[in-house]
Amino acid sequence: MPRSKAHYWFVGPALFLMFVILLLPIGIASIMSFTNYSLGNSGAEFVGLENYEKIFTRSTYEKMFGATFRYVFVVVPLSVGLGLGAALLINSTKRFGDLYKTIYFLPVMAALIAMAIVWEFAFHPTIGIVNSTLERGCGTVLEVWGWYAHGCERGFPLWLTDRDYAIWTVAFIGVWQGFGFNMVLYLAGLTSVPRELYQAAEMDGAKSAWDRFRLVTWPMLGPTTVFVVTISFIRSFQVFDTVEAFYPQGGGPSKSVYVMMFAIYEKAIQQNLMGIGAAITVVFLAFVMFLTLVQRWLVERRVHYT
């Protein structure tokens, strides 16, 4: 009896869309990265690995990698840690839990371009609320922190225009925007932890909240943590809106905020260098895939699945 081929009608549309939407654009970008193609030209010359050689040898792209990795490795751990902490606090509150969820999730819902304007005013060196607040604290808290000489006598940093502070300021905004999303994911994970495990742990001697978290909560949140870290990595690599809003003409002071997504936009869109833009895109995808696979391998080795 011939085997039925009806299943092809079910998986066929999904495979077709995956090819057209995902694989085909990646293939086109990969081919384009070996050329000097630009929009409006009738043809393109094959340049081999010239575009990739530029990416890994020129100082501009060295700054691109540095800014990208500094941003990612600040935003990911802080947004994940703060998201977990906020979820644990809200999960333990008896009242106003929904209010706290809404407040913490507001940055996720806000339009980042509009909020970038608010943050630009907040970090303004003279009229911004950040420096104004720090000035009021001169001689008290700042002296304890060791910032007295630098802040009160020499003036506070130009947060968005100083190359030593710009990337950290943008990373702070990334943490502010991202940890609320991670909080919601962790709250969903906390609802799946059986209450009986806490009772069993308490009978075994886990009396303190830290013991219950270490022995029950954290192991049971393993699958959620894998997902949260993976999503946070991808979202951090995709940062663009904040950089474009603050520095539309370039990657910040001395290219200190020249992240990969902005480099792709600048080369491919602003300068119409589609070949080099495609090469940066391929490198970007390779980094995302590599780091995602590595962190999944490291985390999943100690994941407990229910």
Q: pLDDT tens, 29-47?
A: 899 989 888 877 777 788 8
Q: Is the pLDDT of residue 79 over 90?
A: yes
Q: How far apart are CA 244 and CA 265, in angstroms?
A: 9
Q: Band of the pLDDT at 77, cuts 50, 70, 90? A: very high
What does the domain layout of the chain look like in residue ranges?
54-123+159-300
pLDDT digits (tens, 9 = 90+) for 45-67: 888 888 899 899 888 889 999 99
Single-letter amino acid code for the residue at 85? G
Residues 91-119 have a mean pLDDT of 81
Give pLDDT, residue 306: 47
Task: Give the type of residue at 233.
Answer: F
**Which pLDDT tens digit goes with each residue over 112-164?**
778 888 888 888 877 778 877 777 766 554 445 554 445 565 666 778 888 88
pTM for the predicted model, two decimal places: 0.84
The radius of gyration computed from the CA coordinates of the chain, to the nearest angstrom, equals 24
Question: What pLDDT is attached to residue 2?
Answer: 60
CATH superfamily of 54-123+159-300: MetI-like (1.10.3720.10)
Q: Which of 264, 275, 269, 282 is nearest to 36 (CA)?
A: 275
Q: How many CB atoms lie within 10 A of CB 46?
A: 11
Single-letter code of the amino acid located at 161: T
Please spell the DSSP secondary structure of 168-192, one letter per residue: HHHHHHHHHHHHHHHHHHHHHHHTT
The per-residue pLDDT for range 241-277, each reduced to its tens digit, is 888 888 877 777 788 899 999 999 988 888 888 899 9
Structure token digits, residue 18:
């995956």
Token couple for 29 = 């970008």
> Torsion angle of alpha carbons 102, 108, 114, 120, nearest 10°?
100
What CA–CA distance (Å, rounded) separates 183 from 80?
Answer: 8
Answer whether 285's CB lies under 8 Å from 27's CB: no
